[in-house]
Structure 1
């Protein structure tokens, strides 16, 4: 198949879809704002007093802080930190030419998975991230991306991997910066990233841990907000691990029905709080909590990969969204305890 034919096929396959970065950016923001609202409604069982003090120390109200944290969770999908380079041309880009069809908006989204259908990965993580060779469920977008990007390599900066005849237009050292940042507690070598079709991306919980450590060092609320993009772990497509199988239509449905179907019902959030084991305030590794969220969505949400029935989606949404909100509350509680 030529690349021209592949573009056409991708446009057709993507025509009925929207963005494929799991929960929509708007939903990510709403989840965080609702987590702060839950804390405000339940000050005796959460670290709301500490959160209010943190807001005051940053010269803002709690509502403004909630908006800032939510916007930061939203912004992670816009990171310009991951470039793939053509196996022949050496041309490095952060999104496919067919990104206008919004199947894969930016390659940074490949760091936003935690594959619960497989065990430990080659890096030594308990659960790996996106890896086309390790998928147990997949669909058109996964297959087409692997075909389009066959042989393409992760940008490793000037003087690293190149296309033919040393062609290389490196834009960003994605291996030396992004992958290194998300390598926490694991190991890598560049040969793992020289062909897209078998790249073992670092899992999303490592992304969350990196930004959490950065928050602990800086105290910056924007950096703390980046951590909360890990609510993707409550999106079943990101724990079953596929860019297809109703991924985009589910994302759009959650955004459209978030309020109408009361997916953020605070009584459901209260119940979900008890399903997590709270983090030890003496420990700074938040990944055990994040993995709990991933295990829940993997166990409870598989039906939405194969069903677009409204009530199947309501039932799943009223499970995973309250748990996503609860997970953020637990993370905020822990973050405030570390101050």
Structure 2
């Protein structure tokens, strides 16, 4: 397909970033802090309050700071793919120049529950076009556009034709290495986009959580909370299409109108998560629980645009997302 026509087709298909919208990510974190404030006897709110005071912030301001960090993860400039022929490395496809279109960093934001273990040895892998069991036009068009393109591995690494090498960032030795926690990789896995086994989002969350424990910077903890993408069914069924953008825009538009953050619903689902062991620094078990829930309960939004189908699903996944963040905050406060 002519690439100009191809890009135009993608612009028609793509209107928003993958996963919950950035605004929704922020709201979920802010609501988690508010929930803790309203439920101090069943959460570690007092420890959160003391930490906020130490930082010179109110708990509300701390929630806003961490929420903004969760928002910011979609804007990371840490993942470049390079042309199979040109060797030119970019952080977004040409259609990504339009407002709110994702960068390649979003491919680290999936946990595929339709498959088992991945090539890295993770229990559940991340986005891998070659392993998708549900997909749509955007998935296929992207894989066609990026066929043979490789993950940037720095100057002197993989090149285009005739040694063309316009590396911008060593994504393999920085980003992929960061998210390689508990698994193994070889660069050969990242030479052809259509077969790349991206690391799953729970490894992203674990990396930033370990960073938080080392530095106690609330922004780093906020990065962890982008893992609420695991409660977005498209991220566990794993597709960039099938009403993906329409669903996330609907969530943003109806978040307040449909009271998706009803704290009664949050209280009801808090017990559906097995609390993390305070003696362990591995938070991935609870992240996988969140992913398993959205995979089991949210598949209808891949195929239905009906308002009431979306309400029914959203009133499950959003309270679970808020509850998951509360559990993560409780665990983080236990490490203080």
Q: TM-score per shorter chain, which class?
A: over 0.9
Q: Give, in angstroms, the shift of residue 2 of structure 1.
A: 2.2
Q: Give, in angstroms, the shift of residue 20 of structure 1.
A: 2.8
2:244 matched to which residue of 1?
247
Q: Work out whether 1:291 is the aligned partner of 2:298.
A: no
1:8 matched to which residue of 2?
8
Q: 2:314 aligns with which of 291, 301, 317?
A: 317
Describe the shift of the 1:255–1:46 C-alpha distance in structure 2 as closer, same or farther (beyond 3 A): same
CA-based RMSD of the aligned residues comes to 0.9
Task: Please identify runs of 4+ aligned residues in structure 1 that moved more than 3 A.
Answer: 100-104
Q: Give, in angstroms, the shift of residue 105 of structure 1.
A: 1.8
Whole-Å Cα distance in 2 between the matches of residues 274 and 223 of structure 1? 26
After superposition, what is the alpha-carbon deviation per residue over 1:113-144, rounded to whole angstroms, capped at 9, x for unaligned? 00000000000000000000000000011000
1:238 matched to which residue of 2?
235
Question: For 2:274, what is the secondary structure of its paired residue?
Answer: coil
Whole-Å Cα distance in 1 between the matches of residues 108 and 335 of structure 2? 26
2:108 matched to which residue of 1?
111
Question: For 1:187, what is the secondary structure of its paired residue?
Answer: coil
Q: 1:199 aligns with which of 196, 209, 221?
A: 196
- Paired residues in the alignment total 336
Question: For 1:10, what is the secondary structure of its paired residue?
Answer: helix
Whole-Å Cα distance in 2 between the matches of residues 63 and 11 of structure 1? 38
TM-score (norm. length: structure 1)? 0.98
Q: Work out whether 1:304 is the aligned partner of 2:283.
A: no
Whole-Å Cα distance in 2 between the matches of residues 221 and 9 of structure 1? 40
Describe the shift of the 1:102–1:248 C-alpha distance in structure 2 as closer, same or farther (beyond 3 A): farther
Q: Give, in angstroms, the shift of residue 103 of structure 1.
A: 7.9
Whole-Å Cα distance in 1 between the matches of residues 233 and 296 of structure 2? 9
Whole-Å Cα distance in 1 between the matches of residues 317 and 98 of structure 2? 27
Q: 1:258 aligns with which of 255, 258, 275?
A: 255
User: Tell me, which stretches of 5 or more residues in structure 1 are unaligned?
Assistant: none
User: Given that residues 32 and 325 in structure 1 are in contact (C-alpha distance below 8 angstroms), is that contact kept between their aligned partners in structure 2?
Assistant: yes
TM-score (norm. length: structure 2)? 0.99
1:219 matched to which residue of 2?
216
Whole-Å Cα distance in 2 between the matches of residues 10 and 304 of structure 1? 21
Whole-Å Cα distance in 1 between the matches of residues 245 and 8 of structure 2? 19
